[in-house]
Structure 1
């Protein structure tokens, strides 16, 4: 496994891979890797000859009061996990390498998709994501890129980005990896105290109850959402949203529609967790 701190070094290495006819899969990350990331990297081998991963904590997608400075940097452990997953090349730039000048040119996603749900609570988040992902795509030039479904809205923004900008990249969504109790794996789970970690499964429980109601034919979406919010609030959570939406575009569904997803974000103590379940 080769680690590349510079754009020029990575490009030279990937040019050599392409010269021998290799197909490239790419998994962008912010590090502090867990089994969900590793699963995407292993899946990359199903779609390409060479798997590339990036490790970069992207300042552009953090709000002024969010956790950029304390976001865990665990490069040594990350490298061991990436090597075990068969990653051939790691792009690990310093901030000055990826943003050698202020990034005033930005990619602004469609607000119909990007300014709801996560975007409503984290203004500018998806602009930061779309900008860095576009830049990484231009550097790596993969044929395939893999993103986890846990960040459901992010995956949809990336799909729309690739489609509307006609980028020659296939986007693969990997299923959410979960702990044995159902908690979605997340880099931010490490912020939870032991007591909070035991309680964190309630988010999955709330979503599961909502999914069960929908599968049973209940189409009172507002009540289903309110019941899930009340369940979390009773447990001491501060839920930001629990919403039943269409899988196709994350807009509010009509009662007759199927192919739904329940998306949620909630604070447990000071830790913000997100999750979703498709129906």
Structure 2
């Protein structure tokens, strides 16, 4: 596995690969890799000649400074995992390498996608996401980029980013990887206390029940039902539950049969914020 810390050295290496006609699959991550990340890498390897993984904890997408400081960064272990799945290239830039002396997010207009759900509760988050992903796309110039559907809103925003900025990359979403008890895999899960980890599968159980009720209750009734379920849970605090159109991410007034909908949820387990979603 080739490991690069420098943008210029990585670009020079990848230009050479492209001159040989090779396709490049790209998996951007913030490290603390789990099976979900590894599934993206395996898919990239199947569909491309060269697979590039980036590990970069991006400061401009954190609205909570403490969350940034505590974000797990087990780089040595990540490198071992990447070698096991035969990753070709790892890019691990420093903050200075990406931002130089100006750690500020670019401002983006994603046609309103950024104002829903996560954007409503985490001000500036998607400006930070757009800034780093656009920068990484410009450095790597991938053929295909792979993202997990756990961050479904982020996936839709990155598709919009590629379209609006005419970035010639195909953005693919891949299924959510879950623990045996249903909890969506996340780098933050390692920070859960034993009690919160035992309580956390309730999130997915509730989503599955909400999916069964979808169509028998209207959107407001379903949202109220979910709120009631979490009021019975001492260890989990619901931040939001919403149903949204998969394309616009807006909550529908009326359910239309020709559209796809998804339920989105954010929950605090202590001070750890967990998100999940399910297709309806």
- Sort the TM-score into its range (normalised by shorter chain): over 0.9
| Runs (5+) with no aligned partner, structure 1 | none
User: What is the CA–CA distance in structure 2 between the aligned matches of 1:137 and 1:86, rounded to whole Å?
Assistant: 22
Number of aligned residue pairs: give it: 277
| Equivalent pair of 2:40/2:147 in contact (CA under 8 Å) | yes
Identify the residue that residue 252 of structure 1 maps to in structure 2. Answer: 251
Q: Is the 8 A contact 1:109 1:126 kept in 2?
A: no
Structure 1 runs, 4 residues or longer, greater than 2 Å off: 255-258
Cα deviation for residue 196 of structure 1 reads 1.0
Query: Pairwise mapping of residues 217-232 of structure 1 onto structure 2 (< 5 A)?
Result: 217-232=215-230
Q: In 2 relative to 1, CA 109–36 (structure 1 residues): closer, same or farther, beyond 3 Å? A: farther
- SS of alignment partner, residue 67 of structure 1: helix
Is the 8 Å Cα contact of residues 143 and 169 (structure 1) preserved in structure 2?
A: yes
Residues 197-245 of structure 1 show CA distances to partners (whole Å, capped at 9, x for unaligned) of: 111000001111111111xx32411111111122122112211110011
Cα distance, 1:110 vs. partner?
Answer: 2.4
What is the aligned partner in structure 2 of residue 178 from structure 1? 178
Tell me if the contact between 1:244 and 1:263 (Cα under 8 Å) persists in the aligned partners.
Answer: yes
Q: TM-score, normalised by structure 2?
A: 0.95
| Aligned mates of 1:125, 1:163 — CA distance in 2 | 20
> Structure 2 CA distance, aligned partners of 1:150 and 1:59?
20
- Cα distance in 2 for residues equivalent to 1:48 and 1:219: 44
Query: CA deviation digits over 1:122-172, x for unaligned, max 9?
Result: 000000000000000000000100000000100010011111111110001
Partner of 2:271: 270
Where structure 2 has 5 or more consecutive residues not aligned to the other structure, the ranges are: none
| Structure 1 Cα separation of the partners of residues 279 and 107 of structure 2 | 28
Find 1:234's aligned residue among 232, 244, 248: 232
The DSSP-based 3-state class of the residue aligned with 2:70 is coil
Partner of 1:200: 200
Contact persistence 1:109–1:157 (CA under 8 A): no
Per the TM alignment, residue 192 of structure 1 is displaced from its structure 2 partner at its CA by 0.6
Q: How does 1:19-168 map to 2 (within 5 A)?
A: 19-104=19-104, 106-110=106-110, 112-168=112-168
* TM-score (normalizing by structure 1): 0.96
Task: Give the match's secondary structure for 1:45.
Answer: helix
Structure 1 residue 66, shift from structure 2 partner = 4.3
Structure 2 CA distance for aligned equivalents of residues 261 and 127 of structure 1: 23
In structure 2, C-alpha distance between the alignment counterparts of 1:256 and 1:19, rounded to whole Å: 48
Deviation at 1:86, TM superposition (A): 2.5
Q: In the aligned structure 1, how far is the partner of 2:107 from the partner of 2:28?
A: 17
Greater shift after overlay, 99-108 or 269-278? Answer: 99-108
C-alpha deviation, 1:195, in angstroms = 1.4
Name the stretch that deviates more: 69-78 or 104-113: 104-113
For 1:5-24, what aligned pairs fall within 5 Å after superposition?
A: 5-24=5-24
Q: Secondary structure at the match of 2:267?
A: strand
Query: In structure 2, how many angstroms separate the alpha carbons of the residues matched to 1:110 and 1:20?
Result: 35
| Alpha-carbon distance, 1:105 to partner | 6.5
Which piece of structure 1 moves more, 172-181 or 94-103?
94-103
CA distance, structure 2, for counterparts of residue 162 and residue 112 of structure 1: 16
1:44 match: secondary structure: helix
What do you get for the CA RMSD once the two structures are aligned? 1.3
